[in-house]
Structure 1
């Protein structure tokens, strides 16, 4: 009996355990997963500061308009604030700390002072006061002790900027999973190498390595084995450094030259199950462990057809990477409207490449087929088809970019 997509995802996720947590400097955390909530040690803003270029004054000195006040100096951003005498003003820049005693900033446009660089005027005439203070108060965005980032967050540039702004220097994260890629098959030739009469370019190596990086992994190397089990055994045994996960493509079906099938049945280093998942494309799958340098390493064995590889990466390899990173399910789904009919197969989950026009899902250019790598880059997602779909029906799409 074939397992479901969800059942196989759980099997694959169960192959791995989360990587150890380490404290890393902010610049090394981009793309990593945060292990625990972190709180602010510095408020944002850090102090009361000016929201405008202008003049800091006391509200009590603005009873009549216009009014002219002596200017005691200026406070650029980053400088220690001056404390003007009552009835006096201080020229101030955006982001500069508000002088003690001042509670209003008058924008330079509401004075007779010339905007831009220039000497501090001896006095300033304020021509208009709209009642607004133009002050950013300390902690109005984030207070000390507020949760800045939550556990499970995949850290982007804006997340790290928030951490830096709130006084954080290091974060508890897990490193990127280290993944080795092994494509199989005598028919494959490395990109750029002269093709034999019955060979095709090895697009799977580029596809898998690229998607692994997009999904947050570090690729330790891309390797190739032919149709002999000794070739696959040698490639796996030589992997260095020892990866956290191995992903292979091809050779998992029942053909007489399917090398992963033969290797799993005969190699002492292989602890791999092969079976079928009730899905199309990508029905044959393999999963388990391989012995490398005295360590039992998780291995995911995908089919060889490129579109099936693409589907398997997003459904199954992604699940393992999320678990290694200690991250929640990173898949993104969009509820769409079918722009055409999508047929179904009883008991099978069809993963259909689609392009999106807004939220309208349309068939992939050129039709469907597990070999259609040439147009895969034009697709936006995978429509999940478990029952016949009529035009106008709602469908779920797993976004792939």
Structure 2
């Protein structure tokens, strides 16, 4: 017997239910190269200072500032070049008074030197250098620990790891980091009318698009999708397919087969098996379902492509981001004035596709759940509240900003 709820849930209540269903992913030590977009699970404390030694900020000459104090517009100072210090040299000898060491950017400052004269203020000599400008002590010297002190927390738990953060982790000597593992999502689209893109269509068939859409959406936020395509509308085969791929998955997401008609294979396979089918007070995307099948969290989405895309945006995207440790899981919100009148069914939160600019928003396409081209051309969703049936042109509306 199908377990179906007849009282619609609010959008907010259903979002909370989905978020609670998807558990936080485990923390795993992951090589830096694989950490892009993931969330740091523990504070990163630097075992070393940055820079780890006094070093030169310029190509030039390490000197004692007092030895070149007379250099300037009225004259120059000549000093013998006693040593060369390329970056990476470890056996640096002390600088004696009255001499200079030719030094490269990043190379260690020799003991006894307190400044660097940049090469542009010299004649570039290799055995004897003519210095044409004086420098104050500390000029062009990067001090030990100037950026990071040893023992300092350089990245806090909860940090989303991008290129600068991973560069910093590498700079303090880390080869891997403890991060929340990428969420693993099984994506399954149903429907005997679906055909693989690239093959010829017969009358009554359509190309399957939802699995491509959902897999891309999961991948975009840092998850790992596994697509199970073209599973027949057969309850036994459906259950066998899910069971064969469930090991290691964090969530199963289906599209299609959840409405009130006949041949609804997802409902037939999962109802009474721990998954509840219900309606959410929204348009489009009302028919939904969630629960557990043999312990595997399951979210069942309606099959029309806009309903699928919208449901991912509203329910799955924030839940999956939260599961991977993200703190900011919602799309940005904004307000704008609609350029045309909007009509919405009573008791449902309607989401229209739109484009916004300069404080105004214009709907793209109609409210239909099959209008995927309008979704692709939109940069926002226009949210019309449940208790509003008409929004006059020129009134403020709330936007969910997609791009």
TM-score of the pair, normalised by structure 1: 0.88
Residues 288-299 of structure 1 mapped to structure 2, 5 A cutoff: 288-291=291-294, 296-299=295-298
Aligned-partner SS, 1:99: coil
Q: Which residue of 1 aligns with 2:376?
A: 377
Q: Which residue of 1 aligns with 2:334?
A: 335
Q: Which residue of 2 aligns with 1:71?
A: 81
Aligned-partner SS, 1:8: helix
The 1:105–1:345 alpha-carbon spacing in structure 2 relative to 1, beyond 3 Å, is farther
Q: Deviations over 1:61-97 (max 9, x none)?
A: 1221221111112111111233221111111111111
- Which deviates more from structure 2 when the two are superposed, residues 311-320 or residues 230-239? 230-239
2:15 aligned to which of 3, 6, 9: 9
Contact 2:337 2:396 in 1 (8 A): yes
- Determine whether 1:348 maps to 2:348: yes
Q: Which residue of 2 aligns with 1:275?
A: 278
The 1:36–1:239 alpha-carbon spacing in structure 2 relative to 1, beyond 3 Å, is same
Residue 240 of structure 1, CA deviation: 5.3
State the distance in 2 between where 1:92 and 1:307 align.
Answer: 62
Q: Which residue of 1 aligns with 2:3?
A: none
Contact 2:115 2:139 in 1 (8 A): yes
The 1:242–1:147 alpha-carbon spacing in structure 2 relative to 1, beyond 3 Å, is closer
Residues 128-167 of structure 1 mapped to structure 2, 5 A cutoff: 128-129=133-134, 131=136, 133-167=139-173
Q: Deviations over 1:217-262 (max 9, x none)?
A: 1123323334443342233233254421100001212122322233
Residues 68-217 of structure 1 mapped to structure 2, 5 A cutoff: 68-80=78-90, 81-113=92-124, 121-129=126-134, 131=136, 133-217=139-223
Q: Deviations over 1:289-322 (max 9, x none)?
A: 112xxxx100000111111111111221223323
State the distance in 2 between where 1:134 and 1:360 align.
Answer: 51
State the distance in 1 between where 2:179 and 2:281 align.
Answer: 36
The 1:324–1:334 alpha-carbon spacing in structure 2 relative to 1, beyond 3 Å, is closer
Contact 1:36 1:150 in 2 (8 A): yes
- Determine whether 1:311 maps to 2:310: yes
State the distance in 2 between where 1:395 and 1:34 align.
Answer: 36
Residue 153 of structure 1, CA deviation: 2.4
State the distance in 2 between where 1:100 and 1:257 align.
Answer: 82
Alignment: residue pair count: 387
Contact 1:333 1:396 in 2 (8 A): no
The 1:281–1:22 alpha-carbon spacing in structure 2 relative to 1, beyond 3 Å, is same
Contact 1:254 1:261 in 2 (8 A): no
State the distance in 2 between where 1:103 and 1:376 align.
Answer: 62
Contact 1:12 1:319 in 2 (8 A): no
Contact 2:339 2:360 in 1 (8 A): no
Q: Which residue of 2 aligns with 1:326?
A: 325
State the distance in 2 between where 1:342 and 1:60 align.
Answer: 77
State the distance in 1 between where 2:392 and 2:70 align.
Answer: 72
Q: Which residue of 2 aligns with 1:246?
A: 252
Contact 1:39 1:148 in 2 (8 A): yes
State the distance in 2 between where 1:101 and 1:186 align.
Answer: 81
Structure 1 residue ranges without an equivalent (≥5): 114-119
Structure 1 runs (4+) deviating above 4 angstroms are: 387-396
Contact 2:355 2:363 in 1 (8 A): yes
TM-score of the pair, normalised by structure 2: 0.88
Contact 1:188 1:201 in 2 (8 A): yes
Aligned-partner SS, 1:14: helix
State the distance in 1 between where 2:241 and 2:369 align.
Answer: 26
The 1:359–1:212 alpha-carbon spacing in structure 2 relative to 1, beyond 3 Å, is farther
Structure 2 residue ranges without an equivalent (≥5): 1-6
